[in-house]
Amino acid sequence: MNRISSQLASQLSLVSLDGRRRPAAPALVVVAHGSRDPRALSTVRTLLDRIREQRPGLPVHLGHIELNDPLLPDTLATLGTREAVLVPLLLSRGYHIKRDIPEMAAQSQVRARVAGALGPHPLLVETLRARLIEAGWDTHMDEATRRTSAVVLAAAGSRDPESKIDTTRTAQLLAERLGVPVVPAYATTAAPTVPDAIRALAASGRHRVAVASYFTAPGRFATESAEAAPWIASAPLGTHPAMAKLVLHRYDQALATPVTTTEPELASA
């Protein structure tokens, strides 16, 4: 029903009050990584519905880098030579944003702009905090409790050093918001691992450690990170309204960025 309403709104938005046809807005293509966990695809589709609710009339499409249909090249093929903004549903810089997505866009006929990673951004911090509160985080802890509390920010990990910079910045922003140390840790590839970060915090007297799931959707890494938590573990970022708002912010940012290349148009937000 949400998709039908969005399609109707999209058609109506193309007609001005004097009956003339307005130029169509560039399509938004949300680029998800893809996962073998069926919950991930369901989560992403629900997030797209949230995006459509927040921006009625905007054409919103989904493409995956791997593992799930539709794959990004297939989605781009359906758009022909239209203008589109590709917003990666990825939380930090890395190979997919720097190479995979731009190359897929370049191989299509779409006049594409590629937005940057979702993070770091205050809206992600807002979502992380909300998920921790849902899991049982105390927003009014006394000073003695605060001195023994900490958070491990569990992320996927990447060999790209800029990915680690982005995750570390998100951890800093979350620490400022919560008033306790937040240590970035990784499910794969990078160090420290989530269990290692938990052990290091315990050795420093921080025994009340929460794991904040810095993943866009449920999956193996999110599950394994949560299972390592000695106290509470939050749910993935998922379909929180701030996530839809952030995707639209990256879309608008990309459109506002001057294009410096020719076909296809590639701009980083």
At which residue do the structure tokens 């009339």 appear?
57
Residues making up the chain, counted from first to last: 269
* φ/ψ (deg, to 5) at 148: -110, 5
At which residue do the structure tokens 């299509």 appear?
108
Provide the β-strand partners of residue 233: 211
> In angstroms, rounded to a whole number, what is the distance separating the alpha carbons of residues 100 and 83?
19
Q: What share of the chain is helix, strand, coil (3-state, %, to 5)?
A: 45, 15, 40
Residue type for position 95 = Y
> In angstroms, rounded to a whole number, what is the distance separating the alpha carbons of residues 75 and 68?
12
Residue type for position 42 = S
Concerning whether 33 is annotated as a catalytic residue, the answer is yes
CA terminus-to-terminus distance, the chain: 32
Stretch (H or E) spanning 168 = helix 161-178
Catalytic residue among 33, 64, 96, 240: 33
Q: Which of 103, 240, 155, 260 is nearest to 86 (CA)?
A: 103
Q: Which of 113, 111, 114, 108 is nearest to 83 (CA)?
A: 111
Active site residues: 33
